[in-house]
């Protein structure tokens, strides 16, 4: 199947702002969204308790930054998203939660020039699965590594594949059962259809190996449930 273009992905997210604005539940289509959000932000605080800057990649309506600000107050925030509607909502919410500067960038991360050694914390919630080939993944991981301060951390919560075919089939069946339980067969099919069209996730192993390749000194796995994981690296 021909995958969605960046424009098509942006247009879909332009119309889904409210679905991405609930801090209490997170995204219902994501298994353990609330658990992953808490784990990632707690861990980032543990690694960088004196953090001053955060980059939220694919920020959506701002949930990850808001949760981070509840743990490390008054961070200077940089929010990146394809959707201007998402950025507008995130800017409004985040600006109320910090006294520091909030910057928004409406673009594809592959095109964004990031300053070196700038961010203490980088968070990427349900966004990297939109990357396509190996060169995309390496470009973005290298760019994010370079933009971290020494000792800074990069944490991901995302849809992931499995390296073994039988395990991959099992985890997607588990996810299908989860979706059916939450919204019935029609909802399950709708989610699977847009994953097939939009997403090209990679395994957690692939991403952790890539982190080591681009320079991260250590990596951590925080959570894994079926085809969703929370993990990251420290510079």
Which sequence spans correspond to the domains of the chain?
6-234
Q: What is the mean pLDDT of residues 139-146?
A: 98
pLDDT tens profile 155-199: 999 999 999 999 999 999 999 999 999 889 998 898 888 888 888
Give the predicted TM-score (pTM) of the model: 0.94
What residues form DSSP beta bridges with 232?
155, 220
Q: What is the mean pLDDT of residues 75-98?
A: 95
Superfamily, domain 6-234: Vaccinia Virus protein VP39 (3.40.50.150)
d(CA 81, CA 56) in angstroms, rounded, equals 9
Report residue 12's pLDDT band, with 50, 70 and 90 as the boundaries: low
pLDDT tens profile 96-112: 999 999 999 999 999 99
CA dihedral 212, 69, 109, 5 (to 10 degrees): 120
Radius of gyration of the chain (CA): 17
What residues form DSSP beta bridges with 76?
53
């Amino acid at each position: 199947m021909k995958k969605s273009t960046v424009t098509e992905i942006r247009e879909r997210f332009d119309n889904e702002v409210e679905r991405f604005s609930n801090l209490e539940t997170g995204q219902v289509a994501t298994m353990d969204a609330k658990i992953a959000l808490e784990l990632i932000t707690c861990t980032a605080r543990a690694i960088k308790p004196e953090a001053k800057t955060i980059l939220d990649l694919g920020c959506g309506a701002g949930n990850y930054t808001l949760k981070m600000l509840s743990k490390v107050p008054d961070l200077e925030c940089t929010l990146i998203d394809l959707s201007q509607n998402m950025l507008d909502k995130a800017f409004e919410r985040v600006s109320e939660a910090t006294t520091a500067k909030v910057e928004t960038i409406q673009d594809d991360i592959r095109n964004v020039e990031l300053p070196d050694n700038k961010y203490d914390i980088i968070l990427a919630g349900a966004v990297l699965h939109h990357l396509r080939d190996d060169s995309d993944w390496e470009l973005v991981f290298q760019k994010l590594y370079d933009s971290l301060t020494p000792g800074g951390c990069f944490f991901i919560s995302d849809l992931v594949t499995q390296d073994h075919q039988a395990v991959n089939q099992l985890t997607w069946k588990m996810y299908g059962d989860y979706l059916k339980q939450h919204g019935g067969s029609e909802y399950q099919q709708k989610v699977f259809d847009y994953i097939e069209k939009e997403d090209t996730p990679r395994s957690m192993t692939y991403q952790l190996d890539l982190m080591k390749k681009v320079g991260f000194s250590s990596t951590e796995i925080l959570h894994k449930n079926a085809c969703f994981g929370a993990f990251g690296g420290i510079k």
